[in-house]
Amino acid sequence: MAGHRTSTSLFTVTEDMLSPGAGAEGRLGKRLTRGQILVFPPGLLTLPNQDDLEFLRNDLGSAITLKNISFHPDGDYITGIKKDQVRRERTARILRAHNQEVQKFLTRIVPEYCKDWRIGKVNYRPLQEKGRELSRHSSNEMIHTDAFPSGATHGDRILRFFTNVHPSEPRRWKSSGLMPDLLEEFGEAAGIKRQGDRSLNPGLLGRAFSGTLRTLKRAGIPQAELVDSSPYDRAMLRLHDYLKDDDDFQADISRMVEVEFPPLHSWAVLTDLVSHGVIGGQHALVNTFYLRREHDLGTDIAPVDAMRRWMHGSSVAGSITH
Ligand SMILES: [Fe+2]
Cα–Cα distance measured from residue 18 to residue 21, given in angstroms and rounded to the nearest whole number: 8
Provide the residue type at 190 as one letter. A
Gap from CA of 104 to ligand 1 centroid (Å): 23
Q: What average pLDDT does the chain have?
A: 87
CATH number of the domain bearing residue 252 = 2.60.120
Gap from CA of 271 to ligand 1 centroid (Å): 6
| Residue 285 forms part of a structural domain | yes
Gap from CA of 16 to ligand 1 centroid (Å): 30
Predicted local distance difference test score (pLDDT) of residue 275? 97
Predicted local distance difference test score (pLDDT) of residue 195? 74
45-49, long-range: CB < 8 A, 24+ apart: 45/101, 45/102, 45/104, 45/105, 45/266, 46/101, 47/98, 47/101, 47/163, 47/165, 47/264, 48/94, 48/97, 48/98, 48/165
| Residue 207 forms part of a structural domain | no
| Residue 210 forms part of a structural domain | no
Predicted local distance difference test score (pLDDT) of residue 3? 46
pLDDT-based confidence at residue 147 (cuts at 50, 70, 90): very high
* Structural domains in the chain (count): 1
Gap from CA of 150 to ligand 1 centroid (Å): 14
Cα–Cα distance measured from residue 256 to residue 124, given in angstroms and rounded to the nearest whole number: 27
Gap from CA of 115 to ligand 1 centroid (Å): 24
Cα–Cα distance measured from residue 310 to residue 213, given in angstroms and rounded to the nearest whole number: 29
Q: Tell me whether strands 277-280 and 284-291 are parallel, antiparallel or unpaired.
A: unpaired
Gap from CA of 19 to ligand 1 centroid (Å): 31
Predicted local distance difference test score (pLDDT) of residue 217? 72
Tell me which H or E stretch contains 122. strand 118-125
Whole-model pTM: value is: 0.90
CB atoms within 10 A of CB 161: 23
| Residue 211 forms part of a structural domain | no
Which domain does 101 fall in, by range?
9-193+230-311
| Residue 200 forms part of a structural domain | no
| Residue 223 forms part of a structural domain | no
Gap from CA of 132 to ligand 1 centroid (Å): 15
Q: Which of the residue ranges 14-18, 92-96, 141-145, 280-284 would you say has the lowest mean pLDDT?
A: 14-18
N-to-C CA span, the chain: 20
CB atoms within 10 A of CB 321: 10
Q: What residues are paired with 144 via a beta bridge?
A: 276
pLDDT-based confidence at residue 182 (cuts at 50, 70, 90): very high
Predicted local distance difference test score (pLDDT) of residue 274? 96
Could you report the per-residue pLDDT of 100-138, keeping only the tens digit for each?
999 999 999 988 889 889 999 999 998 888 888 788 888
| Residue 221 forms part of a structural domain | no
Nearest by Cα to 240 from 118, 110, 148, 128: 148
The dihedral through the CA atoms of 79, 83, 85, 86 has a sign that is negative
| Residue 162 forms part of a structural domain | yes
Residue 54 has pLDDT above 90, yes or no: yes
Cα–Cα distance measured from residue 165 to residue 256, given in angstroms and rounded to the nearest whole number: 25
Cα–Cα distance measured from residue 234 to residue 241, given in angstroms and rounded to the nearest whole number: 10
Q: What residues are paired with 174 via a beta bridge?
A: 258, 277
The region, left, alpha or beta by phi > 0 then psi within -120 to 50, assigned to residue 313 is: left
What does the pLDDT average to over 286-315?
A: 83
Predicted local distance difference test score (pLDDT) of residue 137? 86
CB 141, CB 132: distance < 8 Å? yes
Gap from CA of 23 to ligand 1 centroid (Å): 30
Predicted local distance difference test score (pLDDT) of residue 2? 40
CB atoms within 10 A of CB 114: 18
Highest mean pLDDT among 25-29, 63-67, 289-293: 289-293
